Amino acid sequence: MIDLYTAATPNGYKISIALEELGLAYEVHALDLGRGDQKRTGYLALNPNGRIPAIVDRDSGLTVFESGAILLYLAEKTGRLLPADKRRRWEAIEWLMFQMGGVGPMQGQANVFYRYFAEKLPSVIARYQNETKRLYGVLDGWLKERDYLAEEYSIADIANWAWVRSHKWAGVMVDDLPHLRRWMDTMATRPACQRGIKIPPSLGSDATVKMAQSMLVR
């Protein structure tokens, strides 16, 4: 049994999607980020950085935080969602790091400055939106001749899709990126993806604003 500490953000969705794909038994502990649940002493014992998500694997007794590390842990635990072929395995890890170090931080900042920041700063908004779009273009080019990022479905696809699917929220359009859109459509048809993005349910508009302002963007 996996205890999942999460909230309705892209990084949280990564883990609920993976758990649904893997068919692992898990219990959801939804944190209200606007209320500061992630900063409370009990949760900080699981994740000293005070962000979501984190998991506790009751079988192994291990606690893991940071969404990328959790995805790698779950893939290793089950022997799934990472290719067996060495080259493809490292491609999946590369594209996971691409999301962690690129798409997440840039799109996360675009979300905040475009949607929530009290002072509208056009140059700042443009900087993050343009970099997010550039990263989307990298994905589009790579997917031109591939169905998935590592040629077979993996944690890399889960991690990137959990963010890219909310591109409109950051004010970034993908109409001119046909290969990315095709991949997005394919991902959206997967039952585990459909279920995972509903776990946990959104807390509502006011809480969502507060949540976005404290969102982990890595």
- Each residue's pLDDT tens digit, 113-135: 998 888 889 999 999 999 999 99
Percent of the chain with pLDDT over 70: 93
Percent of the chain with pLDDT over 90: 89
Q: What would the CATH number be for the domain defined by 2-80?
A: 3.40.30.10
Pull the structure tokens for residue 53. Answer: 């998500």
Give the pLDDT band of residue 203 (cuts 50, 70, 90): low
The answer to whether the 2-80 and 86-194 domains have the same CATH topology is no
pLDDT of residue 193: 98
**CA proximity to 138, closest of 154, 127, 149:** 149
In angstroms, the CA 202 to CA 3 distance is 19
Calculate the dihedral angle through the C-alpha atoms of 214, 208, 159, 121, rounding to the nearest 10 degrees.
-60
Pull the structure tokens for residue 116. Answer: 């929530």
pLDDT of residue 71: 98
Average pLDDT, the chain: 92
Residue 206 has pLDDT above 60, yes or no: no
**Residue 145 DSSP symbol:** G
- Each domain of the chain, given as residue ranges in start order, spans 2-80, 86-194
pLDDT of residue 16: 98
**CA proximity to 31, closest of 15, 17, 20, 18:** 15
Q: What would the CATH number be for the domain defined by 86-194?
A: 1.20.1050.10
pTM: 0.91
